[in-house]
Amino acid sequence: MAEKHDQSMMDNLYWWGIPTLFRCPNEDPEGKDIALVGVPHSTGNGTTERDQHLGPRALRNVSALGRRFHNEFNLDPWKKARIVDVGDVPFPQANNNEHCIEQITNFYRRIDSCGAKPISIGGDHSITGGILQALGGGNLSNGLPVSILHLDAHTDVFTKVDHFLGAKKSAAHWGAYLADQGKVIPKTSMQIGLRGHLRTADWLEPSYDYGYNIVTMKEFRKRGIVSVVEEIQKTLRKNPIYITFDLDCLDPTIAPGVSNLEPGAMGFNIDEAIEIIQSTRNLNVIGGDIVCMMPTKDSPNQITAHTACSIMFEMISVIADNLG
C-alpha cells in the first residue's frame, strides 16, 4: 500500500518524468478510443503573436495536475476509454502555413483510419482546417460532412480577402473553405460567443451567407444558457460533431494567455463554457480541439494552461461517456 501511495503522489507532480497529456502513454492510435494530439503551429494566424506553437508543451507540463474523475458524469474516463498521447504533428517547414496544413491533414488521416477520436491542443485556429480536411467525409464521420460546435470570439469565416497576412488556409479562413470543400455543413453547425471588436459593419455577413447558426455573446447574455443549449442539441442532433474551442471565447480575466484578446465585452466564464461542451453528451462527438493558447502571455500561475486542461478533460469525458 505504501508503494501505491507513493506512486499516486508522484503521478500528481507536474515537474518530474516525461510530460505527456494527462500522463497518458505515448503510443500509436491503432486500437485506441481517443488520441490526444499536440499541434504546435503558429503561422496560420499571420500576426506577430505567434507563440501559439508553444501551447502543446505548456498543456503537457500542467496536465499531470488535471482532473482524473468526472463527478457530474460519475465517470473515470481513463478506465472507460483507451486514451493515448500520440505526440505532435511534425512541421519540417514550420513557417510555411500551407505546407503545415497539409501535414496536419495527413497526420489526422492516419488517426481517422485507426478509428481513434482525436482531441488536440494547438496551435492557432488554422489547425482546425487541416484536421477537418481529414475528418470530414472520413472514417469517424461515416463518410459524412461534419457539424461543428464552434466557441470563439471571432467567426473565422473570412471571405473579403484571399489571405491573412500571407496565409491562405489561415486561422481566419477555415470556416469558409471547409464549407466550400463540403467537409463541414454550416446549416447544422453553430458559432457561439462571437464578440470580436468590430472593424466593419458586415463582420457577421460571411457566416450568415454560409448558413452558420450564430449566437453572439450579446445574444447569449440576453437568451441565457438554457435556451442556447436547447438550440445546440436541436441543431447538431445525431450528426458527426466536432468541437472547436478558441480560448479567446473566455473572458480575458480567466484566460489571459491567448492571441487576439477581446477585452471589450465579457466572455464566457468557465462554468458556461463547460456547460456548453457538456451539452453534447450523448451526441456523436468525433473529436475536438483547443486553440490559440499563448504561454508566453500567460500569468505566472499558468491559469490559461490550467483552464485549457479543464476544457480538454471535458472533451475527453464527453467522448468517453458516449462509448458503448
Whole-number pLDDT of residue 173 = 87
Whole-number pLDDT of residue 168 = 79
Distance CA 238, CA 23 (A): 32
Per residue in 238-248, pLDDT (tens digit) is 899 999 999 99
Per residue in 241-267, pLDDT (tens digit) is 999 999 999 999 999 999 888 988 999
CA nearest to 244, candidates 176, 151, 144? 151
Whole-number pLDDT of residue 47 = 64
Distance CA 222, CA 114 (A): 43
The sign of the CA dihedral 14, 20, 21, 26 is negative
Burial status of residue 144 (CB atoms within 10 A of its CB: 0-12, 13-18, 19 or more): middle
Q: How confident is the model at residue 137 (pLDDT cuts 50, 70, 90)?
A: very high
DSSP assignment of 169-220, as one string?
S-TTTHHHHHHHHTSB-GGG-EEEEE-PPPSSTTTTHHHHHHT-EEEEHHHH
284 close to 50: Cβ distance less than 8 angstroms: no
pTM of the model: 0.95
Alpha carbon separation from 312 to 57, 79, 181, 245, 246 (Å, rounded) = 14, 17, 28, 9, 12
Angle 23-117-323 from CA coordinates, rounded to 5°: 90
Per residue in 164-216, pLDDT (tens digit) is 766 778 777 899 999 999 999 999 999 999 997 677 778 899 899 999 999 99
Domains defined along the chain, listed by start: 43-63+97-322 (3.40.800.10)
Alpha carbon separation from 290 to 172, 177, 225, 248, 263 (Å, rounded) = 16, 20, 21, 10, 20
